A and B are shown apart, each in its own frame.
Chain A
């Protein structure tokens, strides 16, 4: 009984509302339909424009895949086919046989992984020191690090090369890792993030007698997991893709990173028969691991950049 008495007025109200809607529609039917059409058409324009732009952005990848699946004969006879007459997976087998791409990818992964690991640790410690520890020179220290931000790699290459030569670390992954072990971006990014950690949390931990390392590890870091993930991915990707400095340091073929390896392959294959099908297969091998990584982690990367933005 009581439920009905509640339902009834509501029902009445709905009916009234519907009737009112009908009346309105009858009164001036043109407005809602035309705005609907207008917004639908503007939506259509927007989506078709974005789809077109998106297609252009991914087209090089599509073209690369398509080229790698075609035979060189087909590239010559039917150059404009996007879908090959038959998918030739064979090209990939041949490409893997003609240069050690598996090894190059492993090398890139190892170097990028260890560099990133070191960068995460030392940037976190440094950022913690300049945000949470009290000492006189911390502002000066921060400015020195930030000043290095405008230092182009080129300025440091010649002396760093000599230093590594003196240490006997030219043409080695260790040399590559230690020379990339300081990341100004890492400090800049983590400082911004650590400043947002609530000071009372750290104070409370100090009163409980926790050591600074423990505070960093058990209190600060767990608070910024998302930012740490973004920094990890960005540092990893940058190091995985880096080319100029590794190309100067690494001379042994079996130590090549993927970027230097693929360039050697390009020069060797490109200058003779213009073996585009295998060159595209090699590019695919270089690009695919990162595209897959991006598809898996796109949310972390995109929102990590978009949310933290620029300003501090």
Chain B
């Protein structure tokens, strides 16, 4: 039998798993950044003072891998302003809510008849990878235009500590999962649908297994609760035994991986006509008084989420979009819930402080734990080299570009060395070095 990649057993901190998602009170205002997806920023199509309704297009997709943005509350556009929380500078549309949550009158249920029309509809839904990657779903599905997608891998692993929003979606939106699979069956004509779920969600495994028991094409696959089970390469290997080779695309193996919430939100658009305007967010962490799963309009401030959870027990030491391993920090409670914000984790200062690194003791734990079999100490050695060509040569030999920055190496390092951070610096270095060399060669 194939040996599974099993890497790191983490504490789960999934205390909110049993808490059904509750809708928060209509926020007074929402702030919708234009870069809630991985590609180019969207372009606002409304002006200050415009009245908007829920689901109305307020920014159109613009350029590569972009996605449209829709109003998540009804009310008035108050401002189109610069936005920088979380690092990337962009503009954002501020909408003052009228509290009515009035739906846009133009919304209608899409009726695609072929793959191209289907993709166009998905494009208009504004749905992006909701597990955190934020890659537009239509662009992912568009791979089906080039090659036949035999297997759709539905990612319900949710291996990150703290997050339970996908778990709640699987428990609460079974109908939409079924609907989503029907859509893909109709337009992608895939033969196999695998829903991969970590075993720490037995209720979701049981419910979905029961739901699809008469459908041999849908397989609910329990996976070990190890991190990073939900990472592309790991999930692909553990679920299908396939490996994406260097320079290869996942779709060329006849496989696509879609996050379960992304599938559900796509299906929701085709059932109700409502584009992506709200999502489930897990609010957790040592500084949160009453951790919860909340249904929130996109663009709601973290401050409003905190309020819905009874407030904070102490000053926030660290605010995270996402889980404890790969989550990204923001420095203000005024930051917005983005499309891909599956969780907001707020730690107290004690949990947030990092321990000072000490010298590497060459224990090999980082090597043993790397799901891809990379050697983070070699990357660290390379980054200490003065000579850039020698550094690049070692990084290329050790294949730093494969690193997915899952953070396992940093997590286990007894010397508390910032290995994952160094890996991403190394990846940035090698990218710029390679592109500089390419230009130099011209």
**A and B are partners in one complex rather than unrelated chains:** no
